[in-house]
């Protein structure tokens, strides 16, 4: 039995605290920007709010990104159950109450679990909105809940045109990811060079995680796996993942290697963090883009940026080059400033449950999802009590 807050108890505590942020020296405060009672893919009729999808407790909103016009895209990974109508959708952010109103992207048919594995989006957690090229890079883990391995061709990247939804290019990943052991967690894209970097946390092969980094070159069509099982990507021995003061899944510890990845604004530096770990890392992308660079050569370019302060999930860099890291142990956001090497907790709030994916909005503010994904995995959230939230952190400009 999980020895941490139930969702209902946690919400009671959050309401008592009135969402008052614990904030660092910069005085930034978190705002609960959107709070949804489940999700729905139904179209509103006669101005009425649709009822939540019957199994929306199994479809937590995890990933989040915005296009240049402010349209929000979200992922509802099929990790808890496979039945959600879509795993990648547009979110109507004009709706502030009731269930989150989603529209499957590019279509419901394109998100079908029983569609051709090499073509249909089966299980998307990480994705990236490419402003420069007008694309969305969807990272498909391939498997869905209940499957021991991904079907042949299921592990892939689909590059989708944002305007039309058509598939611009497909990158099969079975040659660089294990169909039963890999867990393709997140993707970052160098828009100018059209090179993508994928984090494989290897969670399905725990406790000996088959971690790695995958490099995808759009122009050449080549995919390559590097830093296979490298210590900087690996679960740190003796580290416990903590949330709201308690270990996540005691007796069956959560073992996630490299998770969040992000690029500097120039694309010259790749950052990553390890969820079952304590540090952030960086490496020059010049060596990653060299097709013949060995893991030993790449390793010499890796820099340990220091301790984050808590366990982590997603990361993102803004136009100024600052790195923002979701801290699942302290329920908030950590900032790393490359110019000074300073790592600091910007803001936190006890109402945040598992800060998941951060994204920079069109106005430069930071947004992130609060998915309570650990509690959904554990079956600790009762149907009808799920809350999927997006928080906002106004950044100084």
Q: How far apart are CA 146 and CA 127, in angstroms?
A: 22
Band (pLDDT 50/70/90 cuts) for residue 47 is confident
**CB atoms inside a 10 Å sphere around CB 278:** 16
Least confident of 23-37, 38-52, 174-188, 213-227: 23-37
The closest of 96, 18, 6, 32 to 332, measured between CA atoms, is 32
The pLDDT, as a whole number, for residue 96 is 85
The closest of 41, 33, 19, 148 to 85, measured between CA atoms, is 41
Q: How far apart are CA 54 and CA 70, in angstroms?
A: 29
**CB atoms inside a 10 Å sphere around CB 42:** 15
Q: In 3-state terms, what secondary structure has residue 272?
A: strand
Q: In 3-state terms, what secondary structure has residue 58?
A: helix
Backbone angles phi, psi at 56, to 5 degrees: -70, -15
Count structural domains, the chain.
Answer: 1
- With respect to residue 124, please indicate whether it lies within any of the assigned structural domains: yes
Q: How far apart are CA 95 and CA 316, in angstroms?
A: 25
Backbone angles phi, psi at 137, to 5 degrees: -95, 110
Residue 204 pLDDT greater than 70, yes or no: yes
343: domain CATH number?
2.120.10.30
- With respect to residue 290, please indicate whether it lies within any of the assigned structural domains: yes
Helices in the chain by DSSP H: which ranges?
A: 7-17, 285-288, 295-299, 373-377
- With respect to residue 162, please indicate whether it lies within any of the assigned structural domains: yes
- Average pLDDT for 363-385: 89
Reported pTM: 0.92
Residue 281 pLDDT greater than 70, yes or no: yes
For all residues of the chain together, what is the average pLDDT? 91
- With respect to residue 295, please indicate whether it lies within any of the assigned structural domains: yes
Band (pLDDT 50/70/90 cuts) for residue 251 is confident
- With respect to residue 2, please indicate whether it lies within any of the assigned structural domains: no
Please give the angle made by the CA atoms of 361, 364 and 365, to the nearest 5 degrees: 70
**Residues spanned by the domain of 63:** 7-393
- With respect to residue 178, please indicate whether it lies within any of the assigned structural domains: yes
- End-to-end CA distance of the chain, in Å? 45
CB 156 within 8 A of CB 179: no
- How far lies 200's CA from each of 179, 273, 279, 300, 376, in Å? 12, 12, 17, 21, 22
């Amino acid at each position: 039995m999980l020895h941490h807050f139930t969702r209902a108890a946690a919400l009671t505590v959050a309401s008592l605290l009135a969402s008052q942020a614990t904030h660092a020296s910069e005085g930034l405060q978190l705002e609960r920007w959107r709070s949804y009672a489940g999700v729905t893919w139904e179209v509103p009729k006669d101005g009425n709010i649709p009822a939540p999808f019957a199994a929306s407790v199994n479809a937590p909103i995890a990933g989040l990104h915005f296009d240049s016009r402010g349209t929000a895209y979200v992922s509802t990974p099929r990790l808890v159950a496979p039945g959600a109508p879509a795993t990648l959708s547009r979110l109507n952010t004009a709706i502030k109450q009731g269930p989150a109103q989603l529209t499957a992207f590019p279509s419901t048919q394109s998100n079908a679990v029983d569609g051709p594995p090499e073509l249909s989006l089966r299980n998307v957690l990480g994705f990236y909105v490419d402003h420069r090229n007008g694309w969305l890079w969807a990272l498909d883990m391939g498997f869905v809940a209940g499957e021991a391995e991904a079907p042949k061709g299921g592990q892939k990247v689909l590059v989708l045109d944002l305007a039309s939804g058509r598939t611009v290019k497909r990158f099969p990943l079975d040659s660089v990811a294990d169909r039963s052991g890999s867990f393709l967690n997140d993707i970052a894209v160098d828009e100018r060079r059209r090179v993508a970097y994928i984090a494989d946390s290897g969670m399905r092969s725990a406790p000996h995680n088959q971690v790695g980094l995958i490099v995808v070159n759009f122009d050449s069509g080549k995919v390559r796996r590097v830093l296979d099982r490298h210590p900087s990507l690996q679960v740190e021995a003796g580290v416990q993942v903590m949330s709201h003061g308690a270990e996540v899944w005691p007796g069956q510890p959560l073992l996630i290697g490299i998770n969040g990845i992000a690029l500097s604004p120039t694309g010259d530096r790749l950052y990553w963090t390890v969820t079952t770990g304590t540090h952030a890392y960086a490496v020059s992308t010049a060596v990653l883009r060299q097709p013949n660079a060995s893991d030993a050569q790449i390793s010499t370019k890796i820099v340990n940026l220091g301790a984050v302060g808590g366990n982590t999930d997603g990361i993102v860099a803004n136009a100024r080059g600052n790195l923002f890291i979701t801290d699942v142990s302290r329920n908030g956001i950590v900032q790393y400033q490359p110019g000074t090497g300073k790592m600091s907790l910007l803001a936190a709030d006890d109402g945040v449950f598992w800060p998941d994916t951060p994204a920079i909005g069109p106005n430069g503010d930071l947004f992130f999802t609060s998915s309570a994904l650990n509690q959904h995995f554990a079956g600790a959230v009762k149907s009808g009590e799920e809350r999927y939230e997006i928080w906002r952190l106004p950044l100084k400009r």
